[in-house]
Amino acid sequence: MTSRPSRTDPIASTARPDRVLRGLVAAFLVISAAAFGCYELLPAGQMASWAVLGIAALAAVVVGVMRHKPDPALPWVLLGVSLAIEIIADLVYQSLGGSIGGDGPFPSAADAIYVAVYPVMIYALLGFVRRDPPEYSRGTLLDVLIVAVGFGALSWGVFSVPVTPLPQLSVLAMTILFAYLLGDPLVFALTLQLPLSGRLRSWPVWLLLLGALGSLYSDTYFALTELHPDWPSAPGEIIGYAAFYITWGLAALLPAMAKVVQPPAGRPWALVAPRTWIALLCCAALISPVLLLVNAYRSTPRDTQVLVGCCITIFLLVFARLVQAMRAWQRTSLRREAQAYLHTLIADAQDSIIVASPRGEVRFSSHSAQRLFGARLGRGPVSGLFTGGDRDRVAHCFDELDDDPHAAPRWPTAVHVRSADERIVRAEARWSDLREDPAVRGIALTLRDVTEERRLEDELRKQALTDPLTGLMNRQALQLLMLRDQNAAAEDPGAGGLLMIDLDDFKEVNDTLGHPIGDEVLVAFAGRILEHVRAEDAVARLGGDEFAVLMAHRSDPSMLEAVAQRLGEAFDEPLETSAGPLRVAASLGLVAFGPAAYPETPDEAQAQEADRDTDPDALMRAADLAMYAAKAEGKHRWRRYHAGLLDQAVRRSELRAALDETLAQGALAVWYQPIVHLDTRQVFGFEALVRWPHPTLGLLGPDVFIPLAEETGQILELGRQVLRIAAKQAVAWSALRPVPGCSINVNVSVRQLREEGFVEAVRDVVAEVGIEPRHLVLEVTETALLDHDDVEVRERLQHLRDLGVAIALDDFGTGYASLISLHDMPIDIIKVDKSFTSRLTTSDRMRRLVRGLLAIGEAMGIHTMAEGVESWEQHEQLLALGTRAGQGFLYGRPLTPADASTVWVAHRPLPVEDPRTSPDA
């Protein structure tokens, strides 16, 4: 990875100091120049001028630190301290009679202070590079020291610095001179470290270096002239010292001073090519030993101690450098290995890995990415790998990054990419912003191909949401859809309807034609529904023979009702099955939802209140209720939901529970309605009519609970109980009037007839109670018999007749049995319905019909009786027509067992008051 060129040029940005700063810099330069000028021109004020020069530099450092707040501040603060010490030393030196850059007492107290500056300065300069990467900074420092010591040894000889104390100099003076000769080069070397470590584009660095150079020059010259009094005094020695103050002060004033304490952005600056550098180091290290060797051949060896000291120092430095280099090498090789390992891992990864530059160009790709995208990878930006919307989204994210390096774009995660073979691949994308990571410096993208996974998921979801038989949605799918609509409705309350469709008597189809045909019917039925709804309506099979149609976006309730109507009619057309055309009717329940029609009646307003509820469960319940209402009203129709239905449903479930209890207690009541011979009007039997003494609602008639009992199956137990009670009663009455005994009519519902073991149950009751079978008449309704052209029912009826029990066809005339089909009915008695009886006196046609019926019956050995006889005229009419028996309010209403007993025992013609003899007649 190459380092990015830093966008902000330290000089460019820092060379534009604000106005105050510019003023400060100008003031500093003017003051410094003025002070220097005064020092040169006004010998009287030299001490003060020089002090001003030093203090100006010190002030510049203080201001610089406070203004630019370097972090860490310590190196700069210490530089300031070293300046302060220097100023004090200068003052002391001058007060002792010395002049800067000129003659003065040596050694003096001032020298001690001057020497004290070095440790502070060295510590300060080391502080500047403390935070640098150690592998660079330490190596650079050691290199510089090696060179310094090496060439220092040479210069020692060149400048012929004596080692043994000179006669004119004390040991202390010599030591101080040596301190100058070693200290200044060291400070210079450490300052040189700053640009070498990579701090190249920084004015303060170069200013510091310039100052250190000035100081080096002047101090060295000073020391040498002390050692060699015959040497001329240094040219411009004063300039070196002045430069030191001015450059360091100015360096601290510039804003870039804060950057000097920070690790440099780039690598260390290679002054020369690495090989040249090594050669230079080698030469530097060899200088001292070579000079030692030269010494060996000299008659008077010079500087031996110094050269040995240099050799040892260089040896130690080179050794330290070696250790440092080894450590650095270890570190880099470890990192290289790790990188290579990672690279292999990435390259071989299953997932496709792509590294993009912050601008979005592909910079690296793993093998699997290359396999996936092929040549596409080479072309253009990363976004080009994605399809349509994803491409734009990715491109947009990179744009965001480009505009603002700190942006955190929302990268798309579930994406579609276009593979080399132009396939659309569904992938899971992970994006890692590794721009700050020096090993990556980009955006890493990992793509996992999830096409197959998603396909399977879709498949499974489809499986879970589809009805396998019809291919329609199933219940869960419909509920999900409704939930989605409900959520959407929060913003946009749409209107629509839910239609619940239940086949009528589908069980029969299954039972009689078998399940395969049943399945065919369901499939054909589903097709029929689909033909009559719009494409956007959702059709579901909820299970069994129950279907639903969700009609969204139909705000007009009359439209919904039209659909219900149309569908109901569509089911009248027979369905094609392999067993031939079959007519299967259905009951439909409709519920509308959303802000539908405007209510016209309070009832409707209430209904709409419920309709507005779009909760899927509530809607389904409502549609169900409506559908049950349609069933209860005789099936093969549609009903719309209204709030009343809910009450009904609640009432029904309460009734059902109560009936259960009554049945368990055997607390049903049976009332008896007399059946008379029309000619004598004397009772020969009764019809047993069930009554329910309800704990809170009082005595309930069968109309209230028989349909419910039929629906719930309670009718079976109810029927058994009534049969036993009635039969027992008949036996009791027969005992009172043995000839010809009391016959008893008991109503039997179709459901009882269809129950397996019904014949046996009747036989058991007959045996248990001891009733003569011929006294027992079972009434079955005509509709029940004919509607279900049921072989089993017929056989059962035949078996009952074989027992000696009589079968009566109840409510004759209300169904659509043709007279012709009567002859193969296993029946003994026809009970002509009330509706006929009531019209006998007004309609000739009805009279002819009953007469014809009587004739046919007579021919087939079937007796005919009339029910619902309410008037004397009807009685006479029936008598004239030749009807033998009758039942109706004229002869007696249903009576309690006690009242019926009284009637039976009295044995008088009914009505007791003969209308012809009564005063009212």
Interface with ligand C2E, residue 749, by CB under 6 A = yes
Cis upstream peptide for 72 (omega within 30°)? yes
Which residue, 184 or 810, is less far from Ca ion as judged by CB?
810
Residue 125, H or E segment: helix 109-128
**Residue 428 CA: distances (Å) to CA of 121, 360, 447, 633:** 59, 19, 6, 57
Interface with Ca ion, residue 811, by CB under 5 A = yes
Applying CB under 6 A, the span of 287-295, 322-330, 537-545, 744-752 interacting with ligand C2E comes to 744-752
The set of residues, in sequence order, having a beta carbon less than 8 Å from that of 85 and lying 6+ positions away, is 113, 116, 117, 120
Q: How far is the CB of 673 from ligand C2E (least distance, A)?
A: 6
Which residue, 467 or 782, is less far from ligand C2E as judged by CB?
782
Strands 352-356 and 806-812: unpaired
Maximum Cα–Cα distance across the chain: 184
**Which of the choices ligand C2E, Ca ion, none does residue 666 contact, using the CB cut-off of 5 to 8 A by kind?**
none
Interface with Ca ion, residue 779, by CB under 5 A = yes
Chosen residue from 868, 886, 895, 903 binding ligand C2E by CB under 6 A: 868
Interface with ligand C2E, residue 683, by CB under 6 A = no
Interface with ligand C2E, residue 702, by CB under 6 A = yes
Packed helices 203-227 and 237-253: angle between N→C axes, nearest 10 degrees: 160
* Other Cβ atoms within 10 Å of 600 Cβ, number: 8
Strands 424-434 and 414-418: antiparallel
Chosen residue from 202, 218, 743, 747 binding ligand C2E by CB under 6 A: 747
Applying CB under 6 A, the span of 16-24, 472-480, 566-574, 684-692 interacting with ligand C2E comes to 684-692
**Residue 646 CA: distances (Å) to CA of 607, 610, 624, 642, 653:** 10, 10, 10, 8, 11
Which residue, 260 or 865, is less far from ligand C2E as judged by CB?
865
Interface pattern 634-673 for ligand C2E (x via CB under 6 A)? ---------------------------------------x
Interface with Ca ion, residue 537, by CB under 5 A = no
Residue 415, H or E segment: strand 414-418
Q: How far is the CB of 685 from Ca ion (least distance, A)?
A: 12
Chosen residue from 10, 195, 497, 719 binding ligand C2E by CB under 6 A: 719
Phi, psi for 571 (deg, rounded to 5): -75, -10
Which residue, 283 or 786, is less far from ligand C2E as judged by CB?
786
Q: What secondary structure does DSSP assign to 290-302, as a single string?
A: HHHHHHHTSSS--
Interface with Ca ion, residue 747, by CB under 5 A = yes
Which residue, 584 or 778, is less far from ligand C2E as judged by CB?
778
Which residue, 473 or 690, is less far from Ca ion as judged by CB?
690
Q: How far is the CB of 599 from ligand C2E (least distance, A)?
A: 36
Which residue, 537 or 810, is less far from Ca ion as judged by CB?
810
Interface with ligand C2E, residue 255, by CB under 6 A = no
Interface with ligand C2E, residue 894, by CB under 6 A = yes
Interface with ligand C2E, residue 674, by CB under 6 A = no
* Other Cβ atoms within 10 Å of 343 Cβ, number: 13
Q: How far is the CB of 700 from Ca ion (least distance, A)?
A: 17
The span from the CA of 809 to the CA of 826, in Å, is 9
**Which of the choices Ca ion, ligand C2E, none does residue 467 contact, using the CB cut-off of 5 to 8 A by kind?**
none
Chosen residue from 194, 549, 586, 690 binding ligand C2E by CB under 6 A: 690
β-strand partners of 746:
688, 778
Which residue, 599 or 707, is less far from ligand C2E as judged by CB?
707
Which parts of 781-810 interact with Ca ion (CB under 5 A)?
810
Interface with ligand C2E, residue 810, by CB under 6 A = yes
Q: Report the C-alpha dihedral over residues 358, 359, 363, 365, rounded to 10 degrees.
A: 80
- Taking a C-beta distance cutoff of 8 angstroms, is the pair 443, 509 a contact? no
Number of residues this chain uses to bind Ca ion (CB under 5 A): 4
Interface with ligand C2E, residue 770, by CB under 6 A = no
Q: How far is the CB of 775 from ligand C2E (least distance, A)?
A: 17
**Residue 603 CA: distances (Å) to CA of 290, 590, 615, 823:** 121, 16, 21, 50
Interface with ligand C2E, residue 870, by CB under 6 A = yes
Which residue, 111 or 810, is less far from Ca ion as judged by CB?
810
Which residue, 390 or 779, is less far from Ca ion as judged by CB?
779
Q: Give the type of residue at 364.
A: F
Total residues belonging to the chain = 921
Q: Give the type of residue at 773.
A: P
Q: Which of 450, 446, 419, 418 is nearest to 430 (CA)?
A: 446
- Taking a C-beta distance cutoff of 8 angstroms, is the pair 592, 496 a contact? yes
Helices (H), 197-273: 203-227, 237-253, 257-260
Q: How far is the CB of 884 from ligand C2E (least distance, A)?
A: 17
Q: Which residues bind ligand C2E (CB under 6 A)?
A: 673, 688-690, 701-703, 706, 719, 722, 747-749, 779, 810-811, 834, 867-870, 887-889, 894
Q: Which residues bind Ca ion (CB under 5 A)?
A: 747, 779, 810-811
